[in-house]
Amino acid sequence: VAYLEIDNEKATFKLVSEEVKDQEGKVTLLWTIDGMGDYPFSSSAVDNIARVAGRVYLTKEIAQDVTDFSPYGLDKPTAVLRVVMKDGTQHEIKFGKEIPSGYYDYVTVDQTGRVCTIASSTGDKIRSTLLDLLDKTSVIVLEANKLQKLEFNRAKDQLHLVSDIKLVGEVGSGTEYLDFTITEPVRRSGTSESLSKLVNESVAASVSQFVEIDPKDLALYGLDQPAYLFNLSSADKSVRLMIGSQADGSSYYAMTDQVPAVFTVAASSFTTIDMKVTEMLDRFVALESIWAVEKIEADILGTRFVTEIQMEKSQTADDETVVFTLDGENAKIFSEKDKSLYNQFYQSIIGILIDNLDTEANPENTKDARIVFHIREDKDNNIPAHTKIVEFARRDDYTYYVFIDGIYTGYYIDGEKAFTSTRINSEGVLVSYKMMRYAMDHAVDGVFNTQEGYQLD
């Protein structure tokens, strides 16, 4: 066989072959679509069509010497397979309609006048379109644990997120995870759980159906200005995934730079693309381990305090040599249930959360509130002792811009939640400070009965 020609209602293309040898020297034919070698067609799907030419099994002869082929749908065949031999001769197999009882199609070969039947599955192969032959597994071909960078754009809120990615741990250990360092729109550690799910869903994007090869108008699919855009990079490969408008209630149109075709993906396979940006990043403004901090100086809306800590990494709050002081007084106070009240106070300081981003702002640092962390030397990681200065500038009646070491961070906090909240177990720093002072003043032998409550001004 020199080549095969397929001509059906939706496509016309030619299959050509090349002899290849395997490691054992065995020669096989590799079939490809002529003139479209750069397109990622499924080799198995193309081979299945080629095999039809060599194994046409006519199951039953229906009629001979036929001159009127219309009753069989062969006057206007649904598909034609031409087998061109190397000596120039050719054979033509025409596929008609399905027989009334189903499962078989009418066919005729060359000009024999014979009408036979053939398995409908064989006819379906010859009726394949180029879309049917595209390899559905070729649209991404990336492994999440090999990713080094993520860029994610979302049109509806103009989000542009860029993050470096690093695999921590050994693949297959069960404890490995992806570590994300966000560089845009702010510089923060990323939330591993949320962003891992985002990249896993993107690299696992599965084709439901191919729609159009070499689309001339991407706007028809919302892909001229994608609703979502991923740029995924590993050490040796980058893939661009675009998600456009909804194809129907359960799928989106999509396209990658690996396959020049529009396809659909199930909307249910993308559960994280609409999550809030604050769910993507570490929301703690200054999450410092208690044993790493030597002293904290605070000036919050006119209230000032100083707290000092003497504690090793291996210690707990009730260890004898641990020292907590607040405004120079002993703050190593426990509840009637033997819980460290100082730990709760400390948690209110380091538990201040980012409320949202405002990267377009260029605010003045009015220093309406200020928390200075004095961080101990970390010999294990070769980090010298240093200070971290966290300052808050009023944005409006409810929120405050955040500055760290004099630089605007691009985000703000909710002032009530951070400073003045009276919600139980979610007290703001100022309320927590008053509670700590009250417990210190009313403790007996280092124990304060919280069930008696706090009498705060």
> DSSP 3-state assignment of 241?
strand
Q: How much is the pLDDT for 1?
A: 78
The structure's pTM equals: 0.84
Residues 93-102 as b/e (b if ≥16 CB within 10 A, e otherwise) read: bbbbebbeee
Band of the pLDDT at 57, cuts 50, 70, 90? low
Alpha-carbon dihedral angle through residues 431, 436, 441, 442, given to the nearest 10 degrees: 100
pLDDT band (50, 70, 90) for residue 59: low
Quick check: 107 pLDDT over 70? yes
Mean of the pLDDT values across residues 10-14? 91
Give pLDDT, residue 213.
94
**Does the pLDDT value for residue 27 go beyond 70?**
yes
Residue range 377-396, pLDDT digits in tens: 999 899 999 999 999 999 99
Mean pLDDT (the chain, rounded): 94
Lowest mean pLDDT across 54-58, 190-194, 384-388:
54-58
Predicted confidence (pLDDT) at residue 96 exceeds the cutoff of 70: yes
Q: Can you read off the two tokens belonging to residue 300?
A: 């919050």
Domain boundaries defined on the chain:
3-133, 137-279, 290-452
Mean pLDDT over residues 113-120, rounded?
92
Burial of residue 360, with CB atoms counted within 10 A of its CB: 0-12 exposed, 13-18 middle, 19 or more buried: exposed
* CA pair distance 436, 137, nearest whole angstrom: 60
Provide the CB-side half-sphere exposure for 94 (13 A, CA): 18
Considering only CA atoms, give the Rg of the chain.
35
For residue 94, the model assigns a pLDDT of 94
130, 13 Cβ separation under 8 angstroms: yes
Using an 8 Å Cβ cutoff, are 17 and 29 in contact? yes
Which pLDDT does position 402 carry in this prediction?
98
Three-point CA angle 432, 438, 444, nearest 5°: 130
Lookup: tokens for 92: 């033509």
The residues, any chain, with a CB within 8 Å of residue 360's CB and separated by 6 or more, are none
Q: What is the pLDDT of residue 313?
A: 94
The pLDDT of residue 55 is above 70: no
CA distances from 357 to 278, 401, 410 (A): 8, 9, 6
CA dihedral of residues 93, 99, 101, 104 (deg, nearest 10): 10
**156-186 pLDDT, tens per residue?**
999 999 999 999 999 889 899 999 999 999 9
Residue 284 CB-half CA count within 13 A? 11
